[in-house]
Chain A
Amino acid sequence: MTVDLTYSIVVVLIVAAVTFLTRAAPFALQNRAGMRNGWVTYLGKTLPPAIMAMLVIYGLKNTGILRYPNGIPELIALTVVAVLHVWKKNALISILSGTAVYMILVQRVFTGG
């Protein structure tokens, strides 16, 4: 495949600029009306666990419950992550083991369908 240099550079620049914009917006607007009162601090405190829950779902968004293998590899791997994490409290062990289990499951075990 050949690379269109100009087009590719423009794509990278647009994605970089818009990404920075989303990250900078709250800081640019923070002294405007409404940003300094209680609800911003309240959201700052309560949003993290809610967003983290959303991101877990985001990571699983392409899991098809209704088609083979019905999300079973994800369920097993997530259980491995959760049990190890509550037990050992070491994120590295939990992530490595969970990912290894998942890769084995999707590459070697649930290969039909």
Chain B
Amino acid sequence: MADALKKAFPVTVPVLLGYLFVGMAFGMLLQERGYSFVWAFFISLTVYAGSMQFVMLSFLSYYSGLYNIALMTLAVNFRHVFYGISMLEKFKGSGRKKLYMIFSLTDETYSLLCSGSVPPGVDPHLYRFCVAMLNQIYWITGSVVGALAGAVISFNTQGIDFAMTALFATIFIDQWQSYPTHAPALIGLAAALLALFVLGPDSFVIPALLVIVCALLMFRERIVPAFETRGGEERDG
């Protein structure tokens, strides 16, 4: 376990930063609404979904129908269904850790698990478990510290949430450089932009995902060959 933790830690450093910052921002906002660090701890322990916890703040501030809350959660987190699909093979045979691996599959953990290869000499399941657990520890720590700090000091956090976008951008660049074809990345970019411009910021995610899946399946015949021939980078367009 100690060895796996030591090998997992360096990989999680970017998430450490992102989660501490964004978690702190969440803790502060929660505290502003009258919820102490105890709430921050339990919400980050049981919900553990970055963007959804921010959306949840508005439910805590104003009474909302329980059906509405469930539907909104489904919409905001629906993308996680697709994360699971690409982790079916990786989580196979992880035994008792599997339940936690599924629970803790956030955007950031997902991106580390699908971009990072497993270091030699360590059980892959234990390594992935450590990555997932470290990430949640950062998130809980950030939100608790934020709630505590929010009760004592105040500083200008405007723009701090850009850390999340920056994290996604670095992973996007890593994948862009390592994938044999840019077609999936370009499809994702085009679909997201199209859906955003047509439907606006509050309801574009699920339609964008559907367009992405349809487009990927439609162009399957053209994309698959790139994965079968190594060094296909030079000839895709």
B175 touches A91 (CB 8 A): no
List residues of chain A with CB within 8 A of the CB of B63.
7
Residues of A within 8 A of B (CB): 1-3, 7-8, 10-16, 18-27, 30, 39-62, 73-74, 77-78, 81-82, 85-86, 91-92, 94-96, 98-99, 102-103, 105-107
Give the docked Cα–Cα distance between A98 and B170 (Å). Answer: 10
B124 within 8 A of A: no
For this complex, 12 residue pairs linking A to B, each with C-beta atoms less than 8 Å apart, are A14-B66, A16-B47, A19-B73, A22-B74, A22-B77, A42-B224, A43-B85, A49-B188, A52-B188, A62-B201, A99-B21, A106-B159
B46 touches A61 (CB 8 A): no
B191 within 8 A of A: yes
Cross-chain contact of A44 among B64, B85, B115 (Cβ < 8 A): B85
B34 touches A2 (CB 8 A): yes
A interface: dominant SS? helix
Q: Which of A42, A59, A98 has the most CB of B within 10 A?
A: A59
- Give per-residue flags for B148-188: 1 if the beta carbon is below 8 A from chain A beta carbons, else 0: 00000000101110111111111111111101001111111
Give the docked Cα–Cα distance between A99 and B87 (Å). Answer: 30
List residues of chain A with CB within 8 A of the CB of B43.
12
List residues of chain B with CB within 8 A of the CB of A78.
165-166, 169
A18 touches B105 (CB 8 A): no
List residues of chain B with CB within 8 A of the CB of A43.
82, 85-86, 213, 216-217
A102 touches B162 (CB 8 A): yes
Give min CB distance, A107 to chain B, whole Å.
5
Cross-chain contact of B88 among A27, A54, A57 (Cβ < 8 A): A27
The residue in chain A whose Cβ has the minimal distance to the Cβ of B226 is A46
A54 touches B205 (CB 8 A): yes
Within 8 A of A (CB), among B21-66: 21, 33-35, 39, 42-43, 46-49, 51-53, 56, 59-61, 63-64, 66
A48 touches B56 (CB 8 A): no
Give the docked Cα–Cα distance between A95 and B231 (Å). Answer: 29
B47 touches A99 (CB 8 A): no
Contacts A14-B73, A27-B88, A57-B193 given; indicate if A51 touches B79 (C-beta within 8 A).
Answer: yes
B107 touches A55 (CB 8 A): yes
B84 touches A94 (CB 8 A): no
- Stretch from B1-9, B10-18, B139-147 at the A interface: B10-18
Give the docked Cα–Cα distance between A13 and B88 (Å). Answer: 26
A46 touches B223 (CB 8 A): yes
List residues of chain B with CB within 8 A of the CB of A41.
89
B212 within 8 A of A: yes
Give the docked Cα–Cα distance between A77 and B164 (Å). Answer: 12
List residues of chain A with CB within 8 A of the CB of B179.
49
